[in-house]
Structure 1
């Protein structure tokens, strides 16, 4: 028994990262699912390195000059579908994004990004392998169209916010009524890798999920996907409150994800690795947690002003602001 206790004490305690990324761009680009297509089918909110483009055929860490994320060594890109409000008159308006209260003040929209291996409160003690160069993946699918199928993705959820600190209950679809503090979308990626492929035709088969719910210890990785990687997760807070007094009289949900989904079953997210050198592996091998990983311990971090300054110009010439006759790319 004493030997087991000693072994537990000396076991590696891997890092857990939580950090903010301000918005890099909001436009119709999707270099994973629709590489090279201008414009892509629907609007995304993108954060991360400024190498983001329609093809992403080069390592972002080699070509990016800035990032909208807290860690200045992270030139990865993270993106999700944008959210729109549909007025009873048939017009649409894009829902603005709020910053998470767990992050420094002043972040321009964006999202909270996590790299965890245990749960929300502890590091855990497994060896975590950083993603290799060229790695990319998606989670969820816009073609998911039933609540039964949506429930099969435990890491893809919505939260009706009472305030920015609300985290439960989680739902596989949009809240059925106006939310006092807005809506949060949650996207958790699988963390077991096949150890061979940095991508797969559907951008998902090279990964395998063993977690039964978000921010909970995942089960052992299967032989087909034996390599434990960090579980990447996004939290995006949408400021739906300005539309609460416009809720449709018939009680129907007025919010749509940008691919014309007002159920939320098809919520999805994309990830493209772009950390500089071995910086992510150094973090995963450290004992830090959340903000304690900043300021060179072991990751280099930057100010909110520097995060907000980084941006890319839209590659698509279309208006996404104000009231629109139709969802961009979804002509009636």
Structure 2
């Protein structure tokens, strides 16, 4: 009952309302790891830093907001087959004592999705009536330039790292990279705001059209309650637990692909792509995940197996070494 209670508590705490709770949780296998960012750097190839991406296979260097991506994707790496959204984050790297870098792989969430080919777990949470996103909706959360706790905490909520002792670990979260070795990897959690201005599907900074709740409800400037989008990514840091390879001063060795060695630059990107009214139906039905099998308990949605989701991938558009030991981060991003 612990896991179910945790999800319900999280939903109730973060989204205003009192008309039932949705805790839709599912796996999205790795679609591609590539230096593209059609939201922040549309049309730029390569983008400044590397991303790991899941969701629909229409992900591209440019994604026209006037085009409904649920009509252009032919497969999705997520288990709900009507979800062609794209979800992406930066990529984690290990920086060895000799100054070289090695990309850290994602792995399937050990709580039910260990057979997934990397990627991340995606949640849509609510504790009351919410309005699902519209075609063309997109948003980001976090700021890759942040390097202090004060910067992060002043602007964003619920962006954390969990040093996994086991797959079940759900305590001890921090806003910075864990300082010691993590026996089962590092889980990165990214939660988006839950209030929308009700008008704009995007904004110049990709964030001003959304906001966090104010007190018991959404602020007057952003009066529409939306589902909380929430990512959990398991990074397989286990191959790098040999401290003799860590920096000589004993500092933690991980760095984001955008050059952040503190962890405070944590951020995520989202482009909505559910087909038709599928997400609204799921939220209205208070859909959730089965406590024991982790299957989606939502008759209104169509789903596929993890094995089927694993087959939806795209080829990298930027051809560069992402698998060997590198002298610098992709794009020459400086660690700072």
Same fold (TM over 0.5): yes
Q: Mind listing any 5+ residue stretches in structure 1 that lack a counterpart?
A: 1-10, 118-123, 212-217
* SS class of match (2:161): strand
CA drift of 1:331 comes to: 5.5
Provide the residue aligned with 1:41 in structure 2.
48
**CA RMSD, 1 decimal:** 1.6
Displaced runs of 4+ in structure 1, greater than 4 A?
none
Residue 192 in 1 paired to residue 195 in 2? yes
Residues 296 and 151 of structure 1: is their aligned pair in 2 closer, same or farther, counting only changes over 3 Å? closer
8 Å contact kept, 2:24–2:296: no
Q: What's the CA shift for 1:242?
A: 0.8
Give the deviation of 1:102 after TM superposition: 2.3
Aligned pairs, number:
309
* 2:175 is aligned with 1:169: no
TM-score of the superposed pair, with normalisation by structure 1: 0.89
Q: How does 1:1-332 map to 2 (within 5 A)?
A: 12-57=19-64, 58-117=67-126, 124=127, 126-152=128-154, 153-210=156-213, 219-245=216-242, 246-291=245-290, 294=296, 297-330=299-332
User: Displacement, 1:293?
Assistant: 7.5
Instruction: Report the counterpart of residue 120 of structure 1 in structure 2.
Output: none
Whole-Å separation in 1 of the counterparts to 2:262 and 2:313: 31
Rounded Cα–Cα distance in structure 1 between residues aligned with 2:125 and 2:297: 19
* Cα distance in 1 between the residues matched to 2:262 and 2:144: 11
CA distance in 1, matches of 2:175, 2:199: 32
CA apart distance, 1:179: 1.6
* Alpha-carbon separation, structure 2, partners of 1:27 and 1:142: 17
C-alpha contact (below 8 Å) 1:12/1:285 kept by paired residues: no
- Deviation digits for residues 57-87 of structure 1, max 9, x if unmatched? 1221010000000100000000000000011
**Structure 2: gaps spanning 5 or more residues:** 1-17
CA shift digits 1:24-73 (9 cap, x unpaired): 00010000100010000101000000000011112210100000001000
- Structure 1 residue 295 displacement after superposition: 7.3
TM-score (norm 2): 0.88
What are the Cα deviations for residues 71-109 of structure 1, in whole angstroms up to 9, with x where unaligned? 000000000000000111111000111211223441000
